[in-house]
Amino acid sequence: MFKWFHRLGSPKIFFEMSGRWQVPLLWLSVVMLTGGAAWALLFVPPDYQQGNSVRIMYIHVPAAILAQSGYVMMSGAAAVFLIWRIKLADVAVKCIAPLGASITFIALLTGAIWGKPTWGTWWVWDARLTSTLVLFFLYIGVIALRSAMERHAGAGRACAILALVGVVNLPVIKFSVEWWYTLHQPASFSLTEKPTMPVEMWLPLLVMVVAYYLFFFAIWIMRIRNEILLTEKNTDWVKQWLATR
């Protein structure tokens, strides 16, 4: 089992393995995204309070979930790099940072769009929104440090340390809606309890969450493969692979 993980640390083996998964994963995620979006826009009944504006939930909630778990994945890769010095983990951190920043931005933007009709305001400084904004700044910090240290040998380790330091914010975001009773509503999904929504509403949400995850992984793998090609461009196997394209 560990041998399989260690083999994945080799750029060549990761490249070959991910090459087999890349296209099916992308297609599956696109199909699920379009299917889920169509389901959410056309077939979900409108909410008794919010009417049709509840449909933004199917874009906002998966983005927000992924924003937080994206950071956890980034700090996981950072920990792997710091502990086991697997260079591919550093490449993974480098590739996921802009992805995570973009999806946090999408979560904030769609949240603001949803907030205007339902709460009457684009923004409010409540616990969940503020801590998600802080999450966005944490992603930006990792990106900024990487670009400032680009030619430095220790850039990977510095960004890994920063990513791990920022992970302290994650429990604050996740539990902020439970610890403070401010404007943002509490979680509707939990691992241990029944959802507070009827099944016609949470089933497409589940589909969209899974679709977002698959899409995120697909794009992340694409970026890592790109980075592998760039850094290993002088090796034989890359030249061979490029010759067959």
Partner 1 sequence: MNLFIASVQRDLLVHFRHPSEVLNPLIFFVVVISLFPLGIGPEPGQLKEIAPGIVWVAALLATLMSMDSMFRSDFEDGSLEQVVLSEQSTFIFVLAKVASHWLLSGLPLVLLMPLAALLLFLDEAGIWALTLSLLLVSPTLSLLGGIGAALTVGLPRGGLLVTILVMPLYVPVLVLATAMVQAAEAGSDTIGYIYWLLAILFGAVCLAPIATAAAVNVATDQ
Chain residues that interact with partner 1, rule: CB under 8 A: 82, 130-131, 134-135, 137-138, 140-141, 144-145, 148-149, 152-154, 157-158, 161-162, 164-166, 168-169, 172
- Asked if 104 and 139 count as a contact pair (C-beta separation under 8 A), the reply is yes
Please name the residue ranges forming H helices in the chain. 2-8, 11-38, 57-84, 87-119, 127-148, 155-166, 169-179, 199-231, 236-243
Nearer to partner 1, 30 or 140 (CB): 140
Supply the DSSP symbol for 56: G
Nearer to partner 1, 113 or 158 (CB): 158
Shortest CB 68 distance to partner 1, Å: 14
Nearer to partner 1, 23 or 148 (CB): 148
Nearer to partner 1, 10 or 130 (CB): 130
Structure tokens at 130: 């503020």
Packing angle of the helix pair 155-166, 127-148 (nearest 10 deg):
170
Shortest CB 70 distance to partner 1, Å: 16
Nearer to partner 1, 13 or 167 (CB): 167
Structure tokens at 96: 């996921």
Shortest CB 146 distance to partner 1, Å: 11
**What phi-psi label fits residue 51: left (phi over 0), alpha (psi between -120 and 50 degrees) or beta?**
left
Residue type, 22: Q
Shortest CB 39 distance to partner 1, Å: 36
CB atoms under 10 Å from CB of 67, counted, come to 23
Nearer to partner 1, 27 or 84 (CB): 84
Distances (CA, A) of 54 to 17, 42, 95: 40, 12, 33
Nearer to partner 1, 39 or 123 (CB): 123
Would you call 49 exposed, middle or buried from its count of C-beta atoms within 10 A (0-12, 13-18, 19+)? exposed
Shortest CB 123 distance to partner 1, Å: 15
- Asked if 8 and 88 count as a contact pair (C-beta separation under 8 A), the reply is yes
Task: Measure the CA–CA gap between 222 and 16, rounded to whole angstroms.
Answer: 12
Shortest CB 97 distance to partner 1, Å: 13
Shortest CB 84 distance to partner 1, Å: 15
